[in-house]
Chain A
């Protein structure tokens, strides 16, 4: 099936089987390998992308379902000049990654979260980010990075 998907503002076209997962289309057809594939059943969150601005698991969508839709992957976060977003900078400053396998999913989830709810307590960050797993950091650095960018309820 012929599909066309807007990823990070550029159109990507390809011929896919109905069973091709969106995660595989993003990596193998579009060549955007920043999106990682972990568990392939929706548990780990590594493959999270934004579909029309909302985070979704790309391993739980078929590529054909994204035809005509707009996706944001981790490659689309930084500006065209390569300048990192405040969230990405906070991840480096707070040691929010070690091996980096989960990082794209965390960034995409946190980016959508902060847009929807800029004011967040630490407990709320932990609850909202619970759908992404990290096996290196113990989460402390990740939570600290999101907190650094969020407005805390006391400041609001």
Chain B
């Protein structure tokens, strides 16, 4: 299948991109690994495609004051190969390696994964577990939102049509944090059916689930139970417990168990 016709503008700067996005039926194009299939199937038919790829200022990985700042246009492969990420936020490396395949990660961007908000995407779940915040810019100004405010439903976020996700801020992991990301997909690189991201430290437990809802979900009851001294098995049962579907409940429970076990290794 071929895309329906559209107008195309290569944005040269962030202000330029924001101006174009404020202009009616425009769609931002980042890595294109999810958007171009939608165009090819004609499931997306924007009037104007605003190509962000020439904007070099949106592609960076920086650690400052302990915070990891990820430019929205940073390629998934760059995240995967970053020593800074591997050292401070190994959860992100584990998660990004499950995104598609190497050729997909060479083009796909971190910001694109977030803004596309596919309920089976790994990076939104890992970023949710890490307590990341998301910076949205428009010609009107800038705002910062958390994962619970950003993700609204399947392929749906609170990013307004004239807004652009420009940066993801990942706070430093707690001292001595252990983390793990696990998922189940029918074949390697296929869309995940379910997954779990966990971050554990003294006085800290974060569990984010993939496939437990239309958005990344924090397993709050399981987190509280762990902090109160519950076993991993009890916490995993709580994490899966809220799901009605029997198969998904079993899957999520097993994956949380596995993630906790792997994090503690």
Is B truly associated with A? Answer: yes
Interface set of A (CB-CB < 8 Å, partner B)? 1, 17-19, 21, 24, 40-42, 45, 48, 51, 54-57, 59-62, 64-65, 109, 113, 127-128, 130-131
Interface of A is mostly: mixed
Interface set of B (CB-CB < 8 Å, partner A)? 1-8, 10, 32-33, 36-37, 39-41, 49, 51, 53, 77, 100-104, 106-107, 187-189
With A40-B1, A42-B37 already in contact, the answer to whether A131 and B32 are too (CB < 8 A) is no
Chain A residues contacting B3 (CB-CB under 8 Å) are 19, 21
Count of A-B residue pairs with CB < 8 Å? 82
A79 to B102, CA, bound (A): 26
User: Do B8 and A131 have beta carbons less than 8 Å apart?
Assistant: no
Closest-by-CB residue of A relative to B51 is A65
Task: Give me 27 A-to-B residue pairs in the complex whose CB atoms sit less than 8 angstroms apart, sorted by A's number.
Answer: A18-B5, A18-B7, A19-B3, A19-B5, A21-B2, A24-B2, A42-B36, A45-B101, A45-B103, A54-B77, A55-B102, A55-B106, A56-B103, A56-B106, A57-B33, A57-B107, A60-B32, A60-B36, A61-B36, A61-B107, A62-B51, A64-B8, A64-B10, A131-B100, A131-B101, A131-B103, A131-B189
User: Do A109 and B102 have beta carbons less than 8 Å apart?
Assistant: yes
Chain B residues contacting A57 (CB-CB under 8 Å) are 33, 103-104, 107
- Which has the most chain A C-beta neighbours within 10 Å: B41, B106, B187, B189? B106
Chain B residues contacting A18 (CB-CB under 8 Å) are 5-8, 49
Chain A residues contacting B10 (CB-CB under 8 Å) are 64
B51 nearest CB across to chain A (Å): 7
